């Protein structure tokens, strides 16, 4: 089995049946989205669906719930509700707390959650920057989609049965509440990890609580692959893409290894500011 089949988890594929706040979609139309159009806004999660009057009322209620970003307490409630609804394939655990003491909740989704298996472990992290909240919403949608469609949709079933998926919707709950990039100490968590070029970050005691929690997490679980969802730009970053002078990045060296791919001929060799 290709260990990286889960990269096919395109978020547009699970909008049709997901409930943003962990509620039970008991009357959602199983026919899903007709043409995949969601107008110009990601808030219109249920547009273009052919539904009955009763279903329209239900969808209207769900759309109201999805109007605003979830607060930290909303996010916790959504995870707990989802875990209760899909307890057979999920578990919720905390990897630590933020500066202000908010738990960093993780949801694991697998056919055998909490057990070690010879299967790839994959993690998603959202909301590293407090003012980039879309990722936390998308990750809750992803968890709901897997829960709602396990044993119904072939892709959802394939993922749950063959991967241990760990979802951390919000790494920076304090920054989210404060509506800023940094955490409660106004530290950019994405720049707080040890750096191969800048050893000022090597002191374990100097890291923020959120950073320490992630580092302990990585020691406990050997993840096969990971993704961090940011917002505000259309960018794809790859591991080890830093340079000592932090000004330029020579992507051509790495891209030569994948010269037959479409991406190799289109990526501009610059470093991003994510």
pLDDT at 58: 60
Among 216, 110, 132, 142, which residue's Cα sits nearest to residue 181?
Answer: 132
3-class state of residue 257 by DSSP = helix
Q: What are phi and psi of 218, to 5 degrees?
A: -70, -30
Kindly report, residue by residue over 167-180, the tens digit of the pLDDT.
999 999 999 999 99
Non-local (6+) Cβ contacts of 181 within 8 A are 129, 130, 131, 132, 175, 188
pLDDT at 195: 80
Cβ–Cβ under 8 Å, residues 203 and 160: no
Could you tell me what percent of the chain has a pLDDT over 90?
53
In the structure, what pLDDT confidence band is assigned to residue 218 with cuts at 50, 70 and 90? very high
> Which stretch of 203-207, 237-241, 246-250 has the lowest confidence by average pLDDT?
246-250
Non-local (6+) Cβ contacts of 100 within 8 A are 173, 174, 177, 184
Mean pLDDT for the chain overall: 76
What average pLDDT does range 70-74 have in this prediction? 94
In the structure, what pLDDT confidence band is assigned to residue 157 with cuts at 50, 70 and 90? very high
Superfamily of domain 5-232: Zn peptidases (3.40.630.10)
In the structure, what pLDDT confidence band is assigned to residue 196 with cuts at 50, 70 and 90? confident
- Tell which wins on pLDDT, 5 or 188: 188
Domain layout of the chain by residue ranges: 5-232, 243-274
pTM for the whole thing?
Answer: 0.69
How is the beta sheet containing 164-168 ordered, strand by strand? 90-97, 103-109, 164-168, 121-126, 225-229
- How many other CB atoms are found less than 10 A from the CB of residue 143? 27
Residue with tokens 């090597």: 202
What average pLDDT does range 94-98 have in this prediction? 98
Kindly report, residue by residue over 32-60, the tens digit of the pLDDT.
333 333 233 333 333 444 556 666 766 66
**DSSP state for residue 38 in the 8-state scheme:** B
């Amino acid at each position: 089995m290709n260990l990286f089949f889960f990269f096919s988890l395109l978020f547009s594929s699970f909008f049709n049946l997901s409930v943003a706040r962990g509620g039970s979609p008991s009357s959602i139309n199983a026919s899903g989205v007709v043409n995949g159009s969601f107008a110009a806004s990601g808030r219109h999660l249920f547009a273009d669906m052919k539904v009955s009057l009763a279903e329209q009322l239900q969808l209207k209620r769900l759309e109201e719930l999805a109007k605003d970003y979830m607060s930290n307490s909303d996010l916790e409630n959504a995870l707990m509700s989802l875990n209760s609804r899909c307890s057979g394939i999920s578990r919720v655990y905390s990897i630590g707390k933020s500066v202000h003491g908010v738990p960093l909740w993780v949801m694991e989704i697998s056919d055998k959650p909490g057990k070690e298996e010879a299967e790839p472990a994959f993690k998603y992290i959202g909301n590293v920057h407090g003012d980039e909240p879309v990722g936390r919403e998308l990750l809750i949608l992803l968890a709901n989609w897997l829960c709602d469609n396990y044993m119904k949709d072939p892709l959802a079933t394939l993922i749950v049965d063959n991967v241990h998926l760990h979802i951390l919707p919000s790494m920076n709950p304090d920054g989210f509440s404060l509506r800023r990039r940094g955490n409660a100490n106004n530290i950019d968590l994405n720049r707080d990890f040890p750096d191969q070029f800048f050893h000022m970050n090597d002191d374990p005691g100097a890291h923020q609580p959120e950073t320490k929690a992630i580092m302990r997490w990585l020691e406990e679980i050997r993840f096969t692959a990971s993704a961090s969802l940011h917002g505000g730009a259309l960018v794809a970053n790859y591991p080890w893409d830093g340079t000592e002078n932090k000004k330029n990045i020579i992507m051509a060296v790495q891209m030569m290894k994948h010269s037959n791919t479409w991406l190799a001929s289109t990526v501009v060799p610059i470093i991003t500011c994510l």
